Amino acid sequence: MEHGRFYYYVSLILFISGLFFPDMVGSIGINYGQIANNLPTPDNVIPLVKSIGATKVKLYDADPRVLKAFANTGVEFIVGLGNEYLSKMRDPDKAQVWVKANVQAYLPATKITCITIGNEILSFNDSSLTDNLLPAMQGIHTALVNLGLDKQVTVTTAHSLSVLEVSYPPSAGSFRKDLVGCITPILNFHAKTNSPFLINAYPFFAFKSNPKQVSLDFVLFQPNQGVVDPKSNFHYDNMLFAQIDAVYSALASLGYSKLPVHISETGWPSKGDEDEVGATLENAKKYNGNLLKTICQRKGTPMRPNTDLNIYVFALFNENMKPGPTSERNYGLFKPDGSPAYSLGINGTGLISTNSTAAATITTPAPQSQQSSSTGYLSISVAVKDIQSNLLSICSCLYLLEDFVVACINYCFHCCCGAAFPLD
Ligand SMILES: *[C@@H]1O[C@H](CO)[C@@H](O)[C@H](O)[C@H]1NC(C)=O
Ligand SMILES: *[C@@H]1O[C@H](CO)[C@@H](O)[C@H](O)[C@H]1NC(C)=O
Ligand SMILES: *[C@@H]1O[C@H](CO)[C@@H](O)[C@H](O)[C@H]1NC(C)=O
Protein backbone atom coordinates (compact mmCIF):
# COMPACT_ATOMS: atom_id res chain seq x y z
CA MET A 1 0.00 0.00 0.00
CA GLU A 2 1.15 3.50 -0.74
CA HIS A 3 2.63 4.91 2.43
CA GLY A 4 0.77 8.22 2.46
CA ARG A 5 -2.56 6.52 2.26
CA PHE A 6 -1.59 3.95 4.82
CA TYR A 7 -0.70 6.64 7.35
CA TYR A 8 -3.95 8.32 6.62
CA TYR A 9 -5.85 5.18 7.58
CA VAL A 10 -3.75 4.64 10.64
CA SER A 11 -4.29 8.24 11.76
CA LEU A 12 -7.98 7.73 11.22
CA ILE A 13 -8.00 4.61 13.37
CA LEU A 14 -5.99 6.36 16.06
CA PHE A 15 -8.32 9.32 15.92
CA ILE A 16 -11.44 7.18 16.16
CA SER A 17 -10.09 5.07 18.99
CA GLY A 18 -9.04 8.29 20.68
CA LEU A 19 -12.59 9.50 20.43
CA PHE A 20 -14.03 6.45 22.07
CA PHE A 21 -11.64 5.20 24.66
CA PRO A 22 -9.24 7.41 26.54
CA ASP A 23 -11.78 9.62 28.22
CA MET A 24 -13.74 6.74 29.66
CA VAL A 25 -11.02 4.94 31.49
CA GLY A 26 -9.11 6.21 34.46
CA SER A 27 -6.15 4.24 35.61
CA ILE A 28 -6.30 2.31 38.84
CA GLY A 29 -3.34 1.97 41.15
CA ILE A 30 -2.96 -0.60 43.92
CA ASN A 31 -0.68 -0.82 46.95
CA TYR A 32 1.16 -4.13 47.16
CA GLY A 33 2.10 -4.42 50.83
CA GLN A 34 3.78 -7.61 51.96
CA ILE A 35 3.82 -7.61 55.75
CA ALA A 36 2.60 -11.20 55.75
CA ASN A 37 3.95 -14.73 55.62
CA ASN A 38 1.27 -16.31 53.48
CA LEU A 39 1.08 -14.30 50.24
CA PRO A 40 1.16 -15.82 46.75
CA THR A 41 4.38 -15.64 44.74
CA PRO A 42 4.67 -12.49 42.60
CA ASP A 43 4.03 -14.49 39.40
CA ASN A 44 0.65 -15.42 40.77
CA VAL A 45 -0.07 -11.84 41.74
CA ILE A 46 0.06 -10.53 38.17
CA PRO A 47 -3.37 -11.90 37.20
CA LEU A 48 -4.86 -10.52 40.42
CA VAL A 49 -3.59 -7.04 39.62
CA LYS A 50 -4.98 -7.30 36.10
CA SER A 51 -8.30 -8.68 37.28
CA ILE A 52 -9.13 -5.40 39.02
CA GLY A 53 -7.99 -3.37 36.01
CA ALA A 54 -4.99 -1.92 37.87
CA THR A 55 -2.22 -0.57 35.66
CA LYS A 56 -0.09 0.85 38.46
CA VAL A 57 1.39 -0.83 41.52
CA LYS A 58 2.98 0.79 44.55
CA LEU A 59 5.52 -1.13 46.62
CA TYR A 60 6.89 -0.19 50.03
CA ASP A 61 10.31 -1.48 49.06
CA ALA A 62 11.97 -2.56 45.83
CA ASP A 63 11.38 -6.30 46.17
CA PRO A 64 13.46 -7.89 43.40
CA ARG A 65 11.10 -10.86 43.08
CA VAL A 66 8.19 -8.55 42.34
CA LEU A 67 10.12 -6.25 40.01
CA LYS A 68 11.40 -9.25 38.03
CA ALA A 69 8.02 -10.97 37.84
CA PHE A 70 6.32 -7.85 36.48
CA ALA A 71 8.88 -7.28 33.73
CA ASN A 72 7.25 -6.70 30.33
CA THR A 73 3.74 -6.60 31.79
CA GLY A 74 3.36 -2.87 31.12
CA VAL A 75 2.40 -2.32 34.76
CA GLU A 76 3.85 0.91 36.16
CA PHE A 77 5.69 0.81 39.48
CA ILE A 78 6.31 3.11 42.38
CA VAL A 79 9.11 1.63 44.48
CA GLY A 80 9.79 2.66 48.06
CA LEU A 81 12.88 3.46 50.05
CA GLY A 82 12.21 2.38 53.65
CA ASN A 83 12.26 4.89 56.51
CA GLU A 84 15.33 3.14 57.95
CA TYR A 85 17.47 4.06 54.92
CA LEU A 86 16.89 7.81 54.91
CA SER A 87 20.02 8.84 56.78
CA LYS A 88 22.26 6.81 54.44
CA MET A 89 20.92 8.47 51.31
CA ARG A 90 22.43 11.82 52.26
CA ASP A 91 25.61 10.26 50.94
CA PRO A 92 25.55 10.63 47.12
CA ASP A 93 27.61 7.47 46.58
CA LYS A 94 25.24 5.37 48.64
CA ALA A 95 22.24 6.91 46.92
CA GLN A 96 23.72 6.05 43.53
CA VAL A 97 24.41 2.46 44.60
CA TRP A 98 20.81 2.13 45.78
CA VAL A 99 19.34 3.53 42.55
CA LYS A 100 21.53 1.32 40.39
CA ALA A 101 20.60 -1.85 42.27
CA ASN A 102 16.93 -1.15 42.93
CA VAL A 103 15.78 0.89 39.95
CA GLN A 104 18.19 0.97 37.04
CA ALA A 105 18.68 -2.81 37.15
CA TYR A 106 15.00 -3.36 36.26
CA LEU A 107 14.56 -0.66 33.62
CA PRO A 108 13.17 -0.61 31.03
CA ALA A 109 11.53 -4.06 31.24
CA THR A 110 9.84 -3.13 34.52
CA LYS A 111 8.29 0.30 34.23
CA ILE A 112 9.49 2.00 37.41
CA THR A 113 8.29 5.61 37.25
CA CYS A 114 8.61 6.87 40.79
CA ILE A 115 10.49 6.38 44.06
CA THR A 116 8.87 7.26 47.40
CA ILE A 117 11.38 8.21 50.06
CA GLY A 118 9.92 6.93 53.33
CA ASN A 119 6.29 6.64 54.31
CA GLU A 120 4.47 9.20 56.52
CA ILE A 121 7.81 10.42 57.89
CA LEU A 122 6.54 13.77 59.16
CA SER A 123 3.85 12.15 61.29
CA PHE A 124 6.38 10.46 63.58
CA ASN A 125 7.44 13.84 65.05
CA ASP A 126 10.97 12.41 65.06
CA SER A 127 13.46 15.07 64.10
CA SER A 128 16.15 12.53 63.17
CA LEU A 129 13.78 11.21 60.47
CA THR A 130 12.34 14.59 59.48
CA ASP A 131 15.77 16.19 59.10
CA ASN A 132 16.90 13.44 56.74
CA LEU A 133 13.84 13.45 54.49
CA LEU A 134 14.66 16.22 52.03
CA PRO A 135 18.40 15.41 51.87
CA ALA A 136 17.50 11.79 51.05
CA MET A 137 15.07 12.91 48.35
CA GLN A 138 17.75 15.16 46.91
CA GLY A 139 20.39 12.42 47.12
CA ILE A 140 18.24 9.95 45.20
CA HIS A 141 17.23 12.59 42.67
CA THR A 142 20.87 13.53 42.06
CA ALA A 143 21.71 9.87 41.51
CA LEU A 144 18.90 9.66 38.93
CA VAL A 145 20.23 12.76 37.19
CA ASN A 146 23.73 11.28 37.07
CA LEU A 147 22.39 8.04 35.64
CA GLY A 148 20.26 9.89 33.08
CA LEU A 149 17.03 8.54 34.59
CA ASP A 150 15.52 11.68 36.13
CA LYS A 151 13.17 12.29 33.20
CA GLN A 152 11.50 8.90 33.57
CA VAL A 153 11.68 8.39 37.34
CA THR A 154 10.42 10.99 39.82
CA VAL A 155 11.22 11.27 43.52
CA THR A 156 8.63 11.97 46.18
CA THR A 157 7.45 10.92 49.65
CA ALA A 158 4.03 9.89 50.95
CA HIS A 159 2.41 11.92 53.73
CA SER A 160 -0.35 11.05 56.14
CA LEU A 161 -3.38 13.34 55.98
CA SER A 162 -2.48 14.24 59.56
CA VAL A 163 0.10 16.70 58.17
CA LEU A 164 -2.96 18.94 57.81
CA GLU A 165 -4.05 21.00 60.78
CA VAL A 166 -7.34 21.95 59.14
CA SER A 167 -9.04 19.69 56.60
CA TYR A 168 -12.59 20.98 56.79
CA PRO A 169 -14.06 22.89 55.08
CA PRO A 170 -11.81 22.00 52.12
CA SER A 171 -11.22 25.67 51.23
CA ALA A 172 -9.67 26.17 54.69
CA GLY A 173 -7.20 23.30 54.37
CA SER A 174 -3.81 24.09 55.88
CA PHE A 175 -0.68 22.31 57.07
CA ARG A 176 0.23 21.83 60.73
CA LYS A 177 2.03 25.02 61.70
CA ASP A 178 4.98 23.16 63.19
CA LEU A 179 5.52 21.39 59.84
CA VAL A 180 5.39 24.40 57.54
CA GLY A 181 9.12 25.03 57.95
CA CYS A 182 10.12 21.58 56.78
CA ILE A 183 7.34 21.06 54.22
CA THR A 184 7.99 24.25 52.29
CA PRO A 185 11.45 23.23 51.00
CA ILE A 186 10.02 19.80 50.12
CA LEU A 187 7.30 21.48 48.04
CA ASN A 188 10.00 23.52 46.39
CA PHE A 189 11.79 20.27 45.52
CA HIS A 190 8.57 18.91 43.94
CA ALA A 191 8.11 22.06 41.90
CA LYS A 192 11.70 22.03 40.67
CA THR A 193 11.81 18.34 39.79
CA ASN A 194 8.23 17.98 38.53
CA SER A 195 7.24 15.34 41.03
CA PRO A 196 3.81 14.88 42.58
CA PHE A 197 2.76 15.49 46.20
CA LEU A 198 1.55 12.20 47.69
CA ILE A 199 -1.06 11.90 50.42
CA ASN A 200 -2.50 8.88 52.22
CA ALA A 201 -6.16 9.69 52.85
CA TYR A 202 -8.59 7.52 54.80
CA PRO A 203 -12.17 8.70 55.24
CA PHE A 204 -12.46 5.53 57.37
CA PHE A 205 -10.42 7.16 60.16
CA ALA A 206 -12.61 10.24 60.13
CA PHE A 207 -15.71 8.07 60.40
CA LYS A 208 -14.25 5.77 63.04
CA SER A 209 -13.34 8.63 65.34
CA ASN A 210 -16.66 10.38 64.92
CA PRO A 211 -19.37 7.95 63.77
CA LYS A 212 -22.23 9.97 65.25
CA GLN A 213 -21.39 13.16 63.36
CA VAL A 214 -20.07 11.80 60.08
CA SER A 215 -22.56 10.42 57.57
CA LEU A 216 -21.67 6.89 56.51
CA ASP A 217 -23.14 7.45 53.03
CA PHE A 218 -20.92 10.52 52.63
CA VAL A 219 -17.75 8.56 53.40
CA LEU A 220 -18.78 5.51 51.32
CA PHE A 221 -19.59 7.43 48.09
CA GLN A 222 -23.25 6.40 48.47
CA PRO A 223 -26.05 8.75 47.39
CA ASN A 224 -26.39 11.50 50.00
CA GLN A 225 -27.17 15.19 50.15
CA GLY A 226 -23.51 16.11 50.58
CA VAL A 227 -22.11 19.29 52.04
CA VAL A 228 -21.39 22.74 50.68
CA ASP A 229 -18.11 24.48 51.42
CA PRO A 230 -19.30 27.86 52.77
CA LYS A 231 -16.35 29.77 51.32
CA SER A 232 -15.93 28.20 47.87
CA ASN A 233 -19.59 27.15 47.49
CA PHE A 234 -18.39 23.86 46.07
CA HIS A 235 -20.66 20.92 46.71
CA TYR A 236 -19.07 17.73 48.03
CA ASP A 237 -20.87 14.41 47.91
CA ASN A 238 -18.05 12.32 49.33
CA MET A 239 -15.41 12.80 51.99
CA LEU A 240 -12.41 11.69 49.95
CA PHE A 241 -12.91 14.56 47.50
CA ALA A 242 -13.21 16.97 50.44
CA GLN A 243 -9.93 15.64 51.85
CA ILE A 244 -8.13 15.93 48.51
CA ASP A 245 -9.33 19.50 48.04
CA ALA A 246 -8.20 20.37 51.56
CA VAL A 247 -4.71 19.30 50.46
CA TYR A 248 -4.95 21.53 47.37
CA SER A 249 -5.92 24.43 49.64
CA ALA A 250 -3.03 23.76 52.02
CA LEU A 251 -0.61 23.67 49.09
CA ALA A 252 -2.07 26.86 47.65
CA SER A 253 -1.71 28.62 51.02
CA LEU A 254 2.05 28.08 50.77
CA GLY A 255 2.14 29.19 47.14
CA TYR A 256 2.19 25.76 45.48
CA SER A 257 -1.22 25.63 43.86
CA LYS A 258 0.14 23.97 40.72
CA LEU A 259 1.62 20.87 42.33
CA PRO A 260 -0.11 17.68 41.26
CA VAL A 261 -1.61 15.71 44.17
CA HIS A 262 -1.77 11.92 44.02
CA ILE A 263 -3.52 9.72 46.56
CA SER A 264 -0.87 7.20 47.47
CA GLU A 265 -3.20 5.25 49.75
CA THR A 266 -6.88 5.04 50.43
CA GLY A 267 -9.02 2.10 51.38
CA TRP A 268 -11.41 0.57 53.87
CA PRO A 269 -10.95 -2.46 56.15
CA SER A 270 -13.36 -5.37 55.84
CA LYS A 271 -12.94 -6.31 59.49
CA GLY A 272 -12.00 -4.56 62.72
CA ASP A 273 -12.05 -4.73 66.49
CA GLU A 274 -15.29 -4.14 68.34
CA ASP A 275 -14.44 -0.48 68.87
CA GLU A 276 -13.58 0.10 65.22
CA VAL A 277 -16.93 1.37 64.03
CA GLY A 278 -17.55 0.91 60.33
CA ALA A 279 -14.92 -1.75 59.65
CA THR A 280 -17.23 -4.25 57.97
CA LEU A 281 -17.24 -6.31 54.81
CA GLU A 282 -20.28 -4.49 53.47
CA ASN A 283 -18.70 -1.05 53.98
CA ALA A 284 -15.36 -2.12 52.48
CA LYS A 285 -17.18 -3.42 49.44
CA LYS A 286 -19.08 -0.16 49.03
CA TYR A 287 -16.08 2.08 49.61
CA ASN A 288 -13.67 0.29 47.31
CA GLY A 289 -16.29 -0.61 44.69
CA ASN A 290 -17.53 2.98 44.51
CA LEU A 291 -13.96 4.28 44.58
CA LEU A 292 -12.92 2.18 41.58
CA LYS A 293 -16.05 3.26 39.74
CA THR A 294 -15.25 6.90 40.49
CA ILE A 295 -11.69 6.49 39.21
CA CYS A 296 -12.96 4.85 36.02
CA GLN A 297 -15.39 7.69 35.40
CA ARG A 298 -12.42 10.04 35.44
CA LYS A 299 -14.12 12.47 37.73
CA GLY A 300 -12.09 15.25 39.23
CA THR A 301 -12.69 16.91 42.59
CA PRO A 302 -14.71 20.15 42.75
CA MET A 303 -11.46 22.18 42.90
CA ARG A 304 -9.81 20.22 40.07
CA PRO A 305 -12.70 19.00 37.90
CA ASN A 306 -10.49 18.40 34.88
CA THR A 307 -7.68 16.59 36.66
CA ASP A 308 -7.81 12.81 36.73
CA LEU A 309 -7.79 11.22 40.14
CA ASN A 310 -4.49 9.49 40.60
CA ILE A 311 -5.29 6.96 43.28
CA TYR A 312 -3.60 3.89 44.73
CA VAL A 313 -6.05 1.68 46.58
CA PHE A 314 -4.83 0.19 49.86
CA ALA A 315 -4.34 -2.67 49.51
CA LEU A 316 -3.94 -5.72 47.36
CA PHE A 317 -3.82 -8.26 50.23
CA ASN A 318 -4.85 -8.70 53.82
CA GLU A 319 -1.50 -8.65 55.63
CA ASN A 320 -1.50 -11.03 58.59
CA MET A 321 1.67 -9.74 60.24
CA LYS A 322 0.78 -6.07 60.51
CA PRO A 323 0.74 -4.82 64.09
CA GLY A 324 -2.04 -2.69 65.53
CA PRO A 325 -5.81 -3.09 65.60
CA THR A 326 -7.55 -5.85 63.63
CA SER A 327 -8.46 -3.44 60.84
CA GLU A 328 -4.75 -3.07 59.95
CA ARG A 329 -4.65 -6.71 58.83
CA ASN A 330 -7.86 -6.50 56.81
CA TYR A 331 -7.54 -3.82 54.16
CA GLY A 332 -6.97 -6.30 51.32
CA LEU A 333 -9.09 -6.65 48.20
CA PHE A 334 -7.76 -10.20 48.17
CA LYS A 335 -7.16 -12.89 50.73
CA PRO A 336 -3.70 -14.48 50.78
CA ASP A 337 -4.97 -17.45 48.75
CA GLY A 338 -5.82 -15.07 45.91
CA SER A 339 -9.57 -15.21 46.34
CA PRO A 340 -11.40 -11.87 46.56
CA ALA A 341 -11.98 -10.67 50.13
CA TYR A 342 -15.39 -9.60 48.84
CA SER A 343 -16.92 -9.06 45.45
CA LEU A 344 -16.05 -5.73 43.88
CA GLY A 345 -18.28 -6.42 40.92
CA ILE A 346 -15.51 -7.64 38.68
CA ASN A 347 -16.10 -11.23 37.79
CA GLY A 348 -13.48 -13.34 36.08
CA THR A 349 -10.92 -11.66 33.92
CA GLY A 350 -11.67 -12.75 30.36
CA LEU A 351 -14.41 -10.14 30.35
CA ILE A 352 -15.20 -10.22 26.66
CA SER A 353 -17.26 -13.23 25.73
CA THR A 354 -16.68 -13.80 22.07
CA ASN A 355 -14.75 -16.36 20.13
CA SER A 356 -13.37 -13.72 17.78
CA THR A 357 -9.79 -12.56 17.40
CA ALA A 358 -10.64 -9.97 20.01
CA ALA A 359 -11.00 -12.61 22.65
CA ALA A 360 -7.87 -14.33 21.46
CA THR A 361 -5.88 -11.12 21.72
CA ILE A 362 -6.99 -10.48 25.25
CA THR A 363 -5.34 -13.20 27.22
CA THR A 364 -5.48 -12.23 30.83
CA PRO A 365 -5.21 -15.44 32.79
CA ALA A 366 -7.80 -15.94 35.49
CA PRO A 367 -6.55 -15.75 39.06
CA GLN A 368 -5.70 -19.17 40.44
CA SER A 369 -8.48 -19.31 42.92
CA GLN A 370 -11.10 -18.57 40.31
CA GLN A 371 -9.99 -21.14 37.83
CA SER A 372 -12.37 -23.78 39.03
CA SER A 373 -15.46 -21.61 39.26
CA SER A 374 -14.99 -18.78 36.79
CA THR A 375 -16.04 -19.18 33.21
CA GLY A 376 -13.64 -16.42 32.28
CA TYR A 377 -16.52 -14.43 30.86
CA LEU A 378 -18.24 -11.37 32.14
CA SER A 379 -21.15 -12.61 34.13
CA ILE A 380 -24.07 -10.69 32.73
CA SER A 381 -26.56 -11.82 35.37
CA VAL A 382 -24.38 -10.67 38.22
CA ALA A 383 -23.67 -7.40 36.48
CA VAL A 384 -27.34 -6.70 35.90
CA LYS A 385 -28.23 -7.45 39.48
CA ASP A 386 -25.76 -4.95 40.77
CA ILE A 387 -25.65 -1.60 39.01
CA GLN A 388 -22.35 -0.64 40.56
CA SER A 389 -20.82 -3.88 39.40
CA ASN A 390 -22.24 -3.30 35.98
CA LEU A 391 -20.56 0.05 35.56
CA LEU A 392 -17.28 -1.29 36.82
CA SER A 393 -17.40 -4.22 34.44
CA ILE A 394 -18.10 -1.93 31.51
CA CYS A 395 -15.20 0.15 32.60
CA SER A 396 -12.91 -2.89 32.60
CA CYS A 397 -14.24 -3.97 29.22
CA LEU A 398 -13.40 -0.61 27.72
CA TYR A 399 -9.97 -0.85 29.20
CA LEU A 400 -9.43 -4.20 27.46
CA LEU A 401 -11.04 -2.98 24.24
CA GLU A 402 -8.55 -0.16 24.15
CA ASP A 403 -5.78 -2.77 24.39
CA PHE A 404 -7.45 -4.56 21.53
CA VAL A 405 -7.49 -1.49 19.29
CA VAL A 406 -3.83 -0.88 20.04
CA ALA A 407 -3.08 -4.52 19.23
CA CYS A 408 -4.93 -4.14 15.88
CA ILE A 409 -2.95 -1.07 14.99
CA ASN A 410 0.28 -2.84 15.81
CA TYR A 411 -0.87 -5.76 13.71
CA CYS A 412 -1.59 -3.45 10.74
CA PHE A 413 1.87 -1.95 10.99
CA HIS A 414 3.35 -5.38 11.12
CA CYS A 415 1.51 -6.57 8.00
CA CYS A 416 2.01 -3.51 5.88
CA CYS A 417 5.45 -2.35 6.87
CA GLY A 418 7.18 -5.43 8.18
CA ALA A 419 8.25 -5.13 11.78
CA ALA A 420 9.48 -1.57 11.40
CA PHE A 421 7.38 1.10 13.01
CA PRO A 422 7.29 3.85 10.38
CA LEU A 423 9.16 6.77 11.84
CA ASP A 424 11.13 7.63 8.66
C1 LIG B 1 2.92 14.90 66.49
O2 LIG B 1 2.72 16.24 66.82
C3 LIG B 1 1.41 16.73 66.53
C4 LIG B 1 1.38 18.22 66.76
O5 LIG B 1 1.99 18.57 67.94
C6 LIG B 1 0.40 15.97 67.37
O7 LIG B 1 -0.90 16.42 67.09
C8 LIG B 1 0.51 14.49 67.03
O9 LIG B 1 -0.35 13.71 67.83
C10 LIG B 1 1.94 13.99 67.22
N11 LIG B 1 2.04 12.64 66.71
C12 LIG B 1 2.71 11.68 67.34
C13 LIG B 1 2.76 10.35 66.68
O14 LIG B 1 3.25 11.86 68.42
C1 LIG C 1 -18.60 -14.87 39.39
O2 LIG C 1 -19.87 -15.24 38.93
C3 LIG C 1 -20.25 -16.57 39.24
C4 LIG C 1 -21.56 -16.90 38.55
O5 LIG C 1 -22.47 -15.86 38.63
C6 LIG C 1 -20.33 -16.70 40.77
O7 LIG C 1 -20.70 -18.01 41.12
C8 LIG C 1 -18.95 -16.38 41.35
O9 LIG C 1 -18.99 -16.41 42.75
C10 LIG C 1 -18.49 -15.00 40.91
N11 LIG C 1 -17.12 -14.78 41.32
C12 LIG C 1 -16.72 -13.65 41.88
C13 LIG C 1 -15.28 -13.56 42.22
O14 LIG C 1 -17.46 -12.74 42.13
C1 LIG D 1 -15.68 -21.06 20.88
O2 LIG D 1 -15.38 -21.81 19.74
C3 LIG D 1 -15.21 -23.20 19.98
C4 LIG D 1 -14.79 -23.88 18.66
O5 LIG D 1 -15.36 -23.27 17.54
C6 LIG D 1 -16.49 -23.79 20.54
O7 LIG D 1 -16.34 -25.17 20.82
C8 LIG D 1 -16.83 -23.06 21.85
O9 LIG D 1 -18.06 -23.51 22.36
C10 LIG D 1 -16.94 -21.54 21.58
N11 LIG D 1 -17.12 -20.85 22.84
C12 LIG D 1 -18.01 -19.89 22.97
C13 LIG D 1 -18.08 -19.25 24.31
O14 LIG D 1 -18.75 -19.52 22.07
Question: Rounded to 5 degrees, what are φ and ψ at 161?
Answer: -65, -15
Per-residue confidence (pLDDT) for residue 297, from 0 to 100: 87
DSSP 168: S
DSSP classification of residue 56: E
CB 163 within 8 A of CB 178: no
- Contact (CB, 8 A) for 338 and 369: yes
Cis peptide before 169 (omega within 30 of 0): yes
Contact assessment for residue 234 and residue 302, using Cβ atoms and an 8 Å cutoff: yes
pLDDT in the model for residue 363? 28
343 lines ligand 2 (CB under 6 A): yes
Is 383 inside a domain boundary? Answer: no
Does 278 sit in the ligand 2 pocket, CB within 6 Å?
A: no
Tell me whether residue 393 is in a domain: no
| CA nearest neighbour of 278 among 370, 197, 215 | 215
Please indicate whether residue 126, judged by its CB atom, sits closer than 6 Å to ligand 1.
no
Asked, for residue 197, whether it belongs to a domain, the answer is: yes
pLDDT of residue 25: 58
Given the residues 84, 165, 265, 276, select the one marked as catalytic.
265
Atom of ligand 1 nearest to the CA of 176: 4
The answer to whether residue 5 is domain-embedded is no
Distance (Å) from CA 384 to ligand 2 centroid: 13
Kindly report the CATH number assigned to the domain that includes residue 251.
3.20.20.80
The pTM score is 0.76
Distance 374 CA to ligand 2 centre (A): 7
| In a domain? residue 267 | yes
**Residue 324 lies inside a defined structural domain of this protein:** yes
Per-residue pLDDT of the chain (424 residues; tens, 9 = 90+): 455 554 555 454 444 444 444 444 578 999 999 999 999 999 999 999 999 999 999 999 999 999 999 999 999 999 999 999 999 999 999 999 999 999 999 999 999 999 999 999 999 999 999 999 999 999 999 999 999 999 999 999 999 999 999 999 999 999 999 999 999 999 999 999 999 999 999 999 999 999 999 999 999 999 999 999 999 999 999 999 999 999 999 999 999 999 999 999 999 999 999 999 999 999 999 999 999 989 988 889 999 999 999 999 999 999 999 999 999 999 999 999 999 999 886 543 322 222 233 322 222 333 333 232 222 222 333 333 333 444 455 455 455 555 555 555 555 555 554 444 333 3
Phi and psi dihedrals of 81, rounded to 5? -105, 120
Domain hosting residue 234, numbered range: 26-329
What local confidence, expressed as pLDDT, does residue 242 receive? Answer: 98
Alpha-carbon span 311 to 388, nearest angstrom? 19
243 part of a folded domain = yes
> In angstroms, what is the span from residue 126 Cα to ligand 1's centroid?
10
In a domain, 388, yes or no: no
How many structural domains does the chain have? 1
**120 annotated active-site:** yes
- Look up 165 and say whether it is catalytic: no
